[in-house]
Amino acid sequence: MLYPQTNSYRSVLSLPGLWQFSLDIDERGEEKRWFEGLPSSRPIGVPGSWNEQYEDTMFHNGSAWYQTDFYVPAEWRSRTVRMRFGAAGYYCSVWLDGTPLGNHEGNSLPFEFDLSRRVKPGRKHRLVVKINNQLGPESIPPGGMEHVSEKGAAPNFMNEAISNFASVLPEIQMLPLLLETRRQYPNVPFDFLPFAGIHRPVKLYATAKDHLERFLVRSEIKRSKATVVCDVEAIGRATSVKGTLQRGNKTFATEAALDDGRATLKFSVPRPDLWHPSSPHLYQLSLSLLKGTKVIDEYHTEIGIRSIQVTDTEILLNGEPIYLNGACKHEDFPIIGKGLCEPAIVKDFSLMKWMGANSFRTSHYPYAEEQLMLADRMGFLVIDEMPTVGLGYGMYTDSILEKCKGILTELVERDCNHPSVIMWSIANEPDPFTESAGDFFGKLRSHAKQLDPSRPVTIASVHSPADYTFDVVDVICVNRYYGWYTQPGRLDVAANKLSDELDQIHQKHRKPIIVSEFGADSIAGLHSDPPEVFTEEYQAALLRAYIEVIRSKEFTAGEHIWNLADFKTPQNYTRTVFNRKGLFTRDRRPKLAAHVVRQIWQAGQFAKSEK
How far is the C-alpha of 580 from the C-alpha of 582, rounded, in Å?
5
Least separation, in Å, of the C-beta of 481 and ligand GCB?
6
HSE-CB at 331 with a 13 A cutoff on CA atoms is 29
Torsion of CA 421, 423, 424, 428, to 10 degrees: -110
Least separation, in Å, of the C-beta of 330 and ligand GCB?
8
Least separation, in Å, of the C-beta of 517 and ligand GCB?
5
Q: Where are the alpha helices (DSSP H) in 74-173?
A: 145-151, 157-168
Cα–Cα nearest to 374, from 332, 329, 418, 331: 418
CB atoms within 10 A of CB 167: 9
Q: Which helix (H) or strand (E) holds 450?
A: helix 435-451
Beta bridge partners of 559: 325, 515
How far is the C-alpha of 32 from the C-alpha of 28, rounded, in Å?
6
CB atoms within 10 A of CB 573: 7
* Cα Dmax for the chain: 76
HSE-CB at 306 with a 13 A cutoff on CA atoms is 30
CB atoms within 10 A of CB 107: 29
Least separation, in Å, of the C-beta of 480 and ligand GCB?
8
Name the residue whose CB lies closest to ligand GCB. 191
Catalytic residue among 429, 536, 537, 559: 429
How far is the C-alpha of 196 from the C-alpha of 172, rounded, in Å?
34
Which residues contact residue 97 at a Cβ distance below 8 angstroms, ignoring those fewer than 6 apart? Answer: 118, 125, 126
- Respond yes or no: is residue 27 known to be catalytic: no
Least separation, in Å, of the C-beta of 178 and ligand GCB?
8
- In DSSP notation, 273-305 reads --EETTEE--EEEEEEEEETTEEEEEEEEEE--
Contact between residue 522 and residue 580 where contact means Cβ atoms under 8 Å apart: yes
- ∠ Cα 120 126 132 (to 5°): 135
Cα–Cα nearest to 202, from 17, 76, 30, 387: 17
Least separation, in Å, of the C-beta of 288 and ligand GCB?
45
Cα–Cα nearest to 146, from 573, 577, 570: 570
Contact between residue 210 and residue 188 where contact means Cβ atoms under 8 Å apart: no
Contact between residue 26 and residue 65 where contact means Cβ atoms under 8 Å apart: no
- Respond yes or no: is residue 517 known to be catalytic: yes
Cα–Cα nearest to 265, from 306, 299, 224: 299
Give Cα 450 distance to the centre of its chain: 20
- In DSSP notation, 327-386 reads E---S-BTTTBT---HHHHHHHHHHHHHHT--EEE-TTSPPPHHHHHHHHHHT-EEEEE-
Total residue count of the chain as it appears in this document: 611
Least separation, in Å, of the C-beta of 596 and ligand GCB?
19
**Could you list the residues that contact ligand GCB (CB under 6 A)?**
190-191, 364, 428-429, 462, 479, 517, 562, 579, 581
Q: Which helix (H) or strand (E) holds 104?
A: strand 99-105
Least separation, in Å, of the C-beta of 521 and ligand GCB?
7
Least separation, in Å, of the C-beta of 193 and ligand GCB?
11
Least separation, in Å, of the C-beta of 482 and ligand GCB?
12
Q: Looking at the annotation, which residues are catalytic?
A: 429, 517
